[in-house]
Amino acid sequence: MAYDLLIRNGTVVDGTGAPRFRADIAIAGDRIAEIGDINEGAHRVIDASDLIVSPGFIDPHTHYDAQICWDPLVSCTSWHGITSVIMGNCGVGVAPCKPESREIAAWDLTNVEAIPYESLSKGITWDWETFPEFLDAAGRRGSAINLGFLAPLTPFRHYVMGKESMERAATPEETAKIAALLSEAMAAGAMGFSTTTLKQHIGFHGTPLACRLASRDELKAYANVLKQHRKGAIEVALTKKIATVSDDEYELLDLLLSESGRPVTWLAMASTPRHPERALQTLERCEPLIKRGAIPQVLCKPFVSQLDLRNPFTFADNEAWNHVFNRSPEEQKRIYSDPEFRRSFRESLKRPHLFTGRWHRVEILEAVNPALKPYEGKTVEEVAELRGADPLDTFLDLAVEDDLKLQYTMQQYHEEGIQQLISDPRTMIGLSDGGAHVDMLCDAGYATYLLGNWVRKREAITLEFAIKRITSEPAAFFGIPYRGQLKKGWKADITIFDYNTVNSARRATMQYDLPGGGRRLVMPAEGIEYTIVNGKVSYEHGRQTGVLAGEVIRSVAA
């Protein structure tokens, strides 16, 4: 017989962690038909000599809920050999949504995920109201890769409670209605639900994101929905302190596990240079939860983010900044220049926050004002010393002097800690945040970075283990059927790459390709030769083929 596609003579790493082997892979339709020494012909043959053939990579943490409306390629995640993504994370999303609530949903995404409001207002198609309609709309549109959806609790609470969802817990009657909507979403194929407890996750007009106000009774009811459906997982952003799980956070994880009977993943586990021992201590403390299915997510890249004071997400958990959000640039500049605001900001830094006032780690990346150009590449601490000024005042003064266009970069490096976490089977590699924080960072290339940096360059983990970490492990966690491994009869989602060159680019670049000309950072890929989605070649030598073979991945009962 003639197969549709034949991959010849590749080095196969099948996603199970087993040793690599040389083989051909035949594809018929959207399935893997044979693996081995294949003599039959095919309509198309790919010569994979000297290349690695692996399952398509799966990104478990993205925020493409809005971007899929205008970008069927799901860029730049799809550039990096990713064939499936899970979106709807952190409790924020765009479905279900009544027409009168669209502005609120868009501002939630802007405040939580730093996606420009102007781009959202121009780009979201709003061809749905309910969550099942949202999934159906995604399927009709088509995409270059597969799309999986968590049900984010914020829009569900807002659909039932309106603006009061941002002010209080739900009543028993409201909880029952929200649970019914969640059950409807699960029946339609949602991969589970997501929520957050983090202070920096603020919504419309600086109010707490609605899901943050869900009571324990509510969360119990929503977790019970997953138990009833016998499928799905829960994602929760909860760690207020890096590398630490507090007693109340531990209790919440225990509740979600017990009441759902399903896996739970929490954000995030990281290692800090000052206290590198905390991450391992936390993993050991959480071992009883981990054995029951609670898995922390980790990022395999050093955390580097850009920041400007027009969209100051980094300070969203700081009460002194609450009234800065959703203001005009002129209003924001007046606030930043106000001595009382500066006093309040200075005082707030004495308490734990996402940003702790380490000005030697904040660097001036790019300025528009010619007078500020000499400061590019210098830290705020260095510029403050040159000016004979206070670092906090300097940080705000520079932004105001550049009409809030000045770009800062903040760096957090701890290579040894990252290596420890990505090597630990008690973690799940993810946290790309693809589609979010688009003017601050781009970690969509985490999978190619893992292969290029930690496998090839540093030899910290084996190729087989790395591939398993970004394919079969997330597939198993979310219950994605027939994906994540190369097996006969399974979906033909395949990534073919050059081991000697695979990586993400050294630095993200800025593009102005969002709706309305909005800007975003993108991370080019290196060494990805072919990406095959459901049996069709989606990318070839780094170029998209025009084929949109992606599917909406729908959950199935255990």
Average pLDDT of the chain to the nearest whole number: 94
Q: What is the pLDDT of residues 295-346, one digit of tens each?
A: 999 999 887 777 889 888 788 888 889 889 878 999 999 999 999 999 999 9
Half-sphere exposure in the Cβ direction for 236 (13 Å, CA): 26
Confidence of residue 135 (pLDDT cuts 50, 70, 90): very high
Rounded-to-integer distance, Cα 224 and Cα 247, Å: 23
* In the block, residue with structure tokens 């210098």: 378
Q: What is the pLDDT of residues 21-63, one digit of tens each?
A: 999 999 999 999 999 999 999 999 999 999 999 999 999 999 9
Q: What is the pLDDT of residues 73-126, one digit of tens each?
A: 999 999 999 999 999 999 999 999 999 999 999 999 998 888 889 999 999 999
Q: Which domains does the chain have, with CATH numbers?
A: 1-87+436-506+527-545 (2.30.40.10), 89-231 (3.20.20.140), 306-411 (no CATH)
Omega before residue 96 within 30° of 0, cis: yes
Rounded-to-integer distance, Cα 479 and Cα 467, Å: 18
Predicted confidence at residue 1, as pLDDT, reads 67
Q: What is the pLDDT of residues 214-240, one digit of tens each?
A: 999 999 999 999 999 999 999 999 988
Rounded-to-integer distance, Cα 103 and Cα 524, Å: 32
Q: Which of 218, 290, 280, 204 is nearest to 253 (CA)?
A: 290
- Identify any residues that bridge with 234 across adjacent strands, giving them in sequence order: 193, 264
Q: 108 Cβ partners below 8 Å, 6+ apart?
A: 92, 154, 155, 203, 204, 209, 210
Predicted confidence at residue 3, as pLDDT, reads 97
Q: Which of 147, 149, 166 is nearest to 108 (CA)?
A: 166
* DSSP for 509-553, written as a single string: EEEEEEGGGEEEEE--EESEEEEEETTEEEEETTEE-S-----EE
Rounded-to-integer distance, Cα 153 and Cα 473, Å: 25
Q: What is the pLDDT of residues 338-374, one digit of tens each?
A: 999 999 999 998 887 778 788 988 999 889 999 999 9
How far, in Å, are 136, 143, 435, 438, 452 from residue 75 at the CA level? 21, 10, 8, 12, 20
Evaluate if pTM is beyond 0.85: yes
